[in-house]
Each structure stands twice: as structure tokens, then as C-alpha cells.
Structure 1
Amino acid sequence: MEYLQHAFDLQRQDLLVPSADQRRAWLSQLWSAIDAHQEALVEALQKDLGKPREEVLLHEVFPVKNEIRFARKHLRGWMAPQRTPTPLTMLGTKSFIQHQPKGHVLVVAPWNFPMMLALRPLVCALAAGNKVLVKPSEHTPHTAEWIAKVVEHALPPEVAKVVLGGAEESAFLTRLPFQHICFTGGTGIGRKVMHAAADNLASVTLELGGKSPTIVDASVHVKDAAKRLAWGKFLNSGQVCISPDYLLVEDAIADELVHEFVTQIRSMYGASPEDQLSCVQRSRMVNDHHFKRVIGLIEDALAQGARVVTGGTWDASTKRIAPTVLEGVTLDMAIMQEEIFGPVLPVIRWTSEEDLKRVLEANPHPLAMYLFSKDTGKVARWMAQFPSGTTAVNEVILQVAQPELPFGGIQTSGIGRTGGYAGFQEFSNPRTVVAQRSRFNILPLTFPPFTSFTSKLIAAVLRWL
């Protein structure tokens, strides 16, 4: 682990706060390096995940470049001192908030969007003025090597460096005294990261996922809802932290919606499960372990009485699973007790909001929740009743693409927020500053020795409150 320690020590040598010009230059250099190596990224992700070129450009390159563009545009304003009002009791002072870098940041990235989820936090951390070590996932080795090459070309190692390795290296890194750790992955590992960070009193950003529900009521436009759900569910073959994990559909339109959902699957990915298995418009499972885990969830559900509406076929040689829809699913099945993270959609019918409550309370605090309804009052009631990190109404996935919005989970689905100004804040410490600008203020009137005038003044202030 010597090279990890060396990379860490190199970045600790100089923690001076960089100027806005320096930070913007770093971001521009990163943009240029991504541009120069874009085709190599497409090739790497096709090797690692079988991602089609269009998905690489739309869901890996675009979010990172959009983050860079947004940060460069707004960085000077974010860095400027933020004045706050001065209360009457503090006349003669001025107060403001100044964002200072947390200092030294570790980014531990996952494999499902390996470029985007490594470089997007890097952009936020650099915008905030930090030094950054990035640890990509070992499960996408070609993309990890691409990330290392791009960052090396764009930035000096004392500013940002990529280190490669597996779980042992990740565990070693999280024990080092960083000021902040940003981790994206499973809840179990997230707890270990938070425990390691606690030993150094480091702050954390944890994006952990969970079972993100989709609720559909009878008021929706069925074809539109089905098309959006089919795209969102099978994007990256369901290997998305905010993928619709299961569908709760009002019984009155369940048959129609499921039929239309299957129609949309066939339109997007092929007329039969066999065609869908060979379709190059979808990614494959990342590795044999994950492939077998998802197959195990399907087989367990079928053994307990669930039935296949479409799909239910797979090819172990290519690690591909046909888009699969299951009905007759119950909460005691394994598929309803863990995040699926694959191209399988369980469908549960509901007739009352008590039905919804029973299912949603079994899997609380998701990273995302999707609500399809034309009834704005009902949507507001659902949002008040069922917490989630993010919510999209009559839409899926797009909440992560809005740079003006913070992105993150709650409790078991995550801690902290990234993206845009929220990302800048996440990797900064807000410094409180109060500056005396006048010799004349009321504070000295409260200094000892206390007199009857002091008592009257304090009483007057308390009455004024």
C-alpha cells in the first residue's frame, strides 16, 4: 500500500486555498482531456459493460461536461462572501459566510456509471478548491484505466490523482485521515466507510441507493407512462441507483399498463426475449456474480408463485438478461427485500392507499420515488406521506440531470448532496465571519461590572425579542 500512502502524502504538502482562476483552469483542463480521449472511453465502456455508444455519450460524458460547464459559469459567485442581515442587537458589525475547501477529499466510485460517478464528484471537489484522490471501481477495469489516464493528463498529481485497486485498497484509503470521503455504492459498504471516516472525524457523502418505487394511479396517460418506465427501468440494464425498482399500479388500469409496458419493451429492444438478449441497445450485467444474483432473485420469486409476463430468459455466456416483468410478487420474496439492480420489474397491484402504505413502509427511505398521476393533490399527499431522497412526477431518472437541484438520499439511501451549488457546498466548510466595523455598538454596555443600567438594558432587549 506504499503507493497509496505516497499519493496521499503528496497532496498533503500544500493545502493553500486556490483562486477562482486556478479552479476554473483545472476544470477546463479536465474538459479538454475528456474531449481528447472520448472515443477511448466509448471503447472502454463497451468492453466493461457492453454500453452502446449513445448511452456512453448521454449518461457518462454529458453529465460530467454539464457539471463542468455549470461550475465554471457560477464559480465566482459561489466563492464570493455571502452577506447576511445584521440584527439590531449587533449594530456596528457586518456578517458573512465564506466557503473554504474541506482540504483533502477521497472519492470512491462504483461500477455502474464508472466514469460519471468518478468524475462528477471530482468536479464538485475541485470547484470547492480541494485536493482529490479518486478510487474507481475494479469491476470496470478498462474504464478505471481510462479515468486514471485522463486525470493524469489533465491535472498535476498534487491536485488530483487516480489510484487503482480492489476492496483492500479501498479499505486502506478510507482509513487515511482525509477531511471528506465521497462514496457511491451499497448500504453495507457505506456503513463501513462511515465508520472508518468517524475514526478521523471526517465528513462523508454517501450515495447508497435502495428500492425506488414507482406509483401509478388510474388517471395517467397509459402509453406515455409505460414508455417512460420502460426506458428508465432498462437503462443500463437496470444497473442504476435510481432505477424504478418495482411498480405499484392501481388495479383499475393494471392490465392495460402492463400490456403497454410489454409493447414498449418490444419496441425498444426487440420483438421477442431472444431478440432482446442479442440487442446491442442495452448494457449487460457487469460480472458473473451480479448476473447470478439477479437470476437468483427471479428463480426465487418464481419458486414462490410469481409468474413471468415477459422475459425470464438469460444467456450466461454474455451475462445478458432479457427485460423481465413479474406479477404475483409478495413482500416476503427476496426480490422485494433487496435492491434488484437489474432488468427485472416486479408489479404489485393496489386498490387503496393502505395497500401503498403497507408496501412502501416495508422498504422506506428510497433514493428515488416516481409518481405518475394527474391528481396534484394526491401527488402532494404521497410526497408528504412517503419520504425519499429525490422524486420525479410523471417522469423518471431526470431529477439527477438537473444541475440546479441537489442530489442525494436519506438515511439508508444516503447522506449528503452532490451536483451544482449543492456539490460545491458539500465539499466546502462554511466559515462564519463577524467583523466589527464601528467603535460604537451596544455590546460593551453589557460588559462587567454589571449595574442597574445593565439589568434594565438586558430586560429591554428580552422584551424586544
Structure 2
Amino acid sequence: MIDEKHQTKTLDFDLSEVFLQQSQKALLLRKESYKLRIDRLKKIKAWILANKARIRDAVYSDFKKPGFEADLSETFVVLADINLALKSLKKWTRPTSLPAGLTYFGSSASVVYEPKGVCLIISPWNYPFNLCIGPLVSAIAAGNTAILKPSELTPNTSKLIAKMVGELFPQGEVAVYQGGPEVTQQLLRLPFNHIFFTGSSAVGKIVMEAAAKNLSSVTLELGGKSPVVIDKTADLKDAAEKIVWGKLLNCGQTCVSPDYLFIHESVKEPFLEHLKYFLETLFKQPGEDFKESPSYARIINKKHYQRLCQALSTAIEDGASLIYGGDVDETENFISPTVLDNVPLHTTLMREEIFGPILPVNTFKNHDEVIQYINGQPKALSLYLFSNDKGIQKRYRLETSSGTACVNDVVVQFQQPHLPFGGVNESGIGKSHGHFGFLAFSNEKAWLKQRVGFTSAKLLYPPYTAAKKRILNILMKYF
């Protein structure tokens, strides 16, 4: 029998060997044409298109994610990123010329985009294929090698990712390591050139601390409480439909899911009627139980199920009113869509990210109090505003801070490959998707080429005469 200490030593040796291979390969990739990166991306695209059913089956086996949701949120989003990279990579990799300025007359200046090198991608369980392969697409587009650490909580999807990578790449280019926190800890000891982590803020801090020991750059896609604000100018029916979809997608286990809702007191009752209608009809047939619906996922595991049940019970004990749902079944990790009204602000549901199908609702009288409340919380990953008042839209744009924001819709900004995606401070560091993902895995290197012989810079060489001081004063004043 192999003891745990021996297994750790074996893993250490294997990781070090693969890391060395990838470090050597990364040096070679710097010299390759962008066309070879395109070839690698095309291989990933072809594999995904040929294995959509296997991706659906894997995520369904892990937590009963509906097949259509898997196609939409796991496969389509990654393919959109690949397609954008295929169309744009030639432009992205081209050096960006910049004006050198009169001070450096005779020189040329540009920014060149070099690969960072060996990258580590640590992905979560809630979108196990998308949030692992999406960053890999950006890493490859930028010319890097990569080691992937998918979540141990979605073992079927993790095995499929390992199979895909094994079929498409040698381990000296892309490798996958499965396992629990002990594997992540081993990986974080290595001096990666860049670490891309998606997950909780608590683990994000651990990743950043480990990265600091090697001065590795990081992209941290974290979470937080994404508020929804509905004012009296909003289309209430439209807002209700969109919020139900965004909240119940993946059973609420989405980092940009609408977390809690503030609605103007004058329109709360009609809005709640619309909300109940779409809760009854959007993810199930009228009269059907949510447990019977093939469109409704489950909570990932017992730990998160119990966490949500406890938060729900505590909120009700503290005075919140249950106005819809509240059904639970531990045997299936099932929690029905649940809406609470008048939820005290000190409760767990209003202080911690929910990450489940529970929606707290509170009212407001004026936008000042809402903006003040939002600004008093950790900065959110997303903010959602339903309003047709352009002045109010401008206020939230200027007076609040969040990683992303969306007016009159929810979640869809994540699926837009041209937009940067990421948090700010507590909700994340850095951006991903499309060109911004390419930049996350690139070093933007300043490249200045100076002419030989006389240059304007030589006018400022010593000896520092009175004439040269006058030249410097003119430059400081006008250039």
C-alpha cells in the first residue's frame, strides 16, 4: 500500500518534471507564428463540437445541470471566445505603434505582446467546463503553456477535461492535474508566470498569498453579492422574467447571479405578481413540481445545501416573510426557487453571497439610500439596474463601483466576448474574455528603437550647460 507521504513525493516529482517541460516549451512558443496558435484553438473547437453530448452528460452527472443550460453556459460561451480569437488573433498579436514624441525625435515606439510563459488555471465547480477551458483559450491565444486544475467537486467533468487535453496536447504544452486541495497546494508552490483563479474570495486570498512568494501575476475571478435595483420607471413584467431566468440559471450557482433585490415601494406588489407568474412558468410547466422539471438543476453538494437551508431558516426566524417556495429535499440536494420579503439587512442572506435559488427582496423610497447601501458593501462582481430613466442610469454608472454592470437585463454581460469580465477589489483582480483574456496572459512589453548617431536625447547629455537647462525647461513646459 502506498502511503500518503509517498504519493505527495511522487506528485512533487511529476509536477516538477512537467513544469520543467512546459518552461522549456514556453521559450519555443515565443518564436512561433500566431498561425500555430490558431491551429491549436481550431483543435479545441473541433473537439468541443464533436463532444457536446459528452459535455452535457458530464455536467448532468455532476449536479443535474439541464442539457440546454450546458450547451448555453458551458459550450456556447467557450466557442464564442474561440471564434473571436480566430478572427482577431492576427490583430491582437500585432505590435501597437505609439508616438515617440518630439523629445525622442528619430526613435520609434511600440507595445509588443509576449507570452507570459507557464500558466496555472484553477477552475471552480459551478461552470466546470466553461471556467476551465475558457481561460485555456486565452492562454493559448497569447502563446503560453498551461497546467489546469479543475474542481474535485465535479469529477465527471474534470475527467472529461483531462481526456480532451490528453487527446489534443502533449503534457509539455497543456497538462491536467485532478484532486483536492492538497493538489492545489502543491501546484501553488511552483513559480508560475501567471495564475488564473476562479472561485471564492476566501480561497482567492490564499492563491494571491502563494503567488506573492514567487511574484507571479494573477487574475482572480471571485464573487460577491450582485444587487438588483428596480425603480418605478422599469418595465416590471420584463424585469421579472429576466430576473427569474438569471437567478435560477444553474440553480442560482452563478457568480454573476442576481443576489438580492431592492425595488421601489410603489411598484413592489405588481412586480411580485409578475415574479410569481414567471416562477411558475419559466423553468417548469404550470402545476408541475420543480423536482420533476428537467430544466432545473440541483445544489452541488450537502455542504452547500445545508449552508443555504440554515441561511433561509435564520432569515425567517429574524422576521423575513416567505412569499414563494421554501421546499427542500436533502436526498437530492434540492432547494426550490424561494423568494423572501422584508429581509433584515443583518441576516446571512444579506451579508454573504447566496449562491443558490433564494432571492431576498426589500423596498426603497429613493435612490440615495440604495446607492449609499451598495457603496457600504464590498464591491460587487455585477450590478443590475432596471430603469428607463437615463438620469438614474447615469447616477448608478458614476456613483457605484462594480466589476460589471447591466441595465435592464441580468447575467448576459458574461456571455458577451467583446466585453471585459472580472471584478474589482473584493470581487476580483484583472479581466478575462476575448481581447481582455488575451491581455491577461500577455506581457505588454515596451519596445523603443532608437536611430544610430545624432538623436534629440543627446541634447540633454552632460555637460549640463545653461543652454541645455533652457532646452529642458522648454520641454517640461510644452512637451
TM range, normalised to the smaller chain?
over 0.9
Query: Which deviates more, 364-373 or 264-273?
Result: 264-273
- Equivalent residue number for residue 128 of structure 1: 142
Unaligned runs of 5+ in 1: none
Residue of 20, 32, 35 corresponding to 1:21? 35
Amino acid at match of 1:12: S
- Equivalent residue number for residue 264 of structure 2: 250
- Equivalent residue number for residue 341 of structure 1: 355
- 1:426, distance to aligned residue in structure 2 (A): 0.7
- 1:111, distance to aligned residue in structure 2 (A): 0.2
Q: Does 1:305 align with 2:319?
A: yes
Residues in 1 aligned to 2:359 and 2:322: alpha-carbon distance in whole angstroms: 10
Within 5 A, what are the aligned runs for 1:190-209?
Answer: 190-209=204-223
Residues in 2 aligned to 1:190 and 1:236: alpha-carbon distance in whole angstroms: 22
Unaligned runs of 5+ in 2: 1-10
Deviations 1:75-97 (A, max 9, x none): 11111111001211111000000
Supply the RMSD in Å over aligned alpha carbons: 1.4
Retained in 1: the 8 A contact 2:25–2:145?
no
Retained in 2: the 8 A contact 1:277–1:315?
no
- 1:304, distance to aligned residue in structure 2 (A): 0.9
Instruction: Tell me the secondary structure at the aligned position of residue 332 of structure 2.
Output: coil
Retained in 2: the 8 A contact 1:310–1:324?
yes
Residues in 2 aligned to 1:65 and 1:353: alpha-carbon distance in whole angstroms: 39
- Equivalent residue number for residue 75 of structure 1: 89
Residue of 259, 262, 265 corresponding to 2:279? 265
Instruction: Tell me the secondary structure at the aligned position of residue 290 of structure 2.
Output: helix
Deviations 1:111-168 (A, max 9, x none): 0000000000000011001110010000000000001111111222111111101111
Retained in 2: the 8 A contact 1:274–1:322?
no
Residues in 1 aligned to 2:265 and 2:169: alpha-carbon distance in whole angstroms: 55
Deviations 1:59-80 (A, max 9, x none): 1000111111111111111111
Residues in 1 aligned to 2:467 and 2:347: alpha-carbon distance in whole angstroms: 73
Residues in 2 aligned to 1:385 and 1:86: alpha-carbon distance in whole angstroms: 36
Residues in 2 aligned to 1:88 and 1:430: alpha-carbon distance in whole angstroms: 23
Retained in 1: the 8 A contact 2:25–2:173?
no
Retained in 2: the 8 A contact 1:29–1:155?
no
Residue of 134, 141, 161 corresponding to 1:147? 161
Q: Does 1:62 align with 2:62?
A: no
Retained in 2: the 8 A contact 1:331–1:359?
no
Retained in 1: the 8 A contact 2:223–2:255?
yes
Deviations 1:9-68 (A, max 9, x none): 321222221320111111011112222322111111110010111111111000111111
Q: Does 1:229 align with 2:243?
A: yes
Residue of 396, 420, 435 corresponding to 1:406? 420
Amino acid at match of 2:380: P
Q: Does 1:457 align with 2:471?
A: yes
- Equivalent residue number for residue 368 of structure 1: 382
Retained in 1: the 8 A contact 2:371–2:396?
no
Amino acid at match of 2:317: A
Residues in 2 aligned to 1:359 and 1:272: alpha-carbon distance in whole angstroms: 37
Instruction: Tell me the secondary structure at the aligned position of residue 245 of structure 1.
Output: strand
Residues in 1 aligned to 2:337 and 2:377: alpha-carbon distance in whole angstroms: 23
Retained in 2: the 8 A contact 1:326–1:347?
yes
Amino acid at match of 1:224: D
| Aligned residue pairs, count | 465
Residue of 387, 409, 414 corresponding to 1:395? 409
Deviations 1:235-286 (A, max 9, x none): 0000000000001000000011111101101011346797012212011001
Quick one: percent identity of the two aligned structures? 38
Residues in 2 aligned to 1:307 and 1:4: alpha-carbon distance in whole angstroms: 52
Residues in 2 aligned to 1:201 and 1:269: alpha-carbon distance in whole angstroms: 46
Residues in 1 aligned to 2:119 and 2:189: alpha-carbon distance in whole angstroms: 12
- 1:428, distance to aligned residue in structure 2 (A): 0.4
Residues in 1 aligned to 2:444 and 2:373: alpha-carbon distance in whole angstroms: 40
Residues in 2 aligned to 1:32 and 1:223: alpha-carbon distance in whole angstroms: 40
- Equivalent residue number for residue 8 of structure 2: none
Do the aligned partners of residues 350 and 441 (structure 1) sit closer, same or farther apart at CA in structure 2, a change above 3 Å counting?
same
Q: Give the TM-score taking structure 1 as reference length.
A: 0.97
Query: Which deviates more, 435-444 or 51-60?
Result: 435-444
Instruction: Tell me the secondary structure at the aligned position of residue 369 of structure 1.
Output: strand
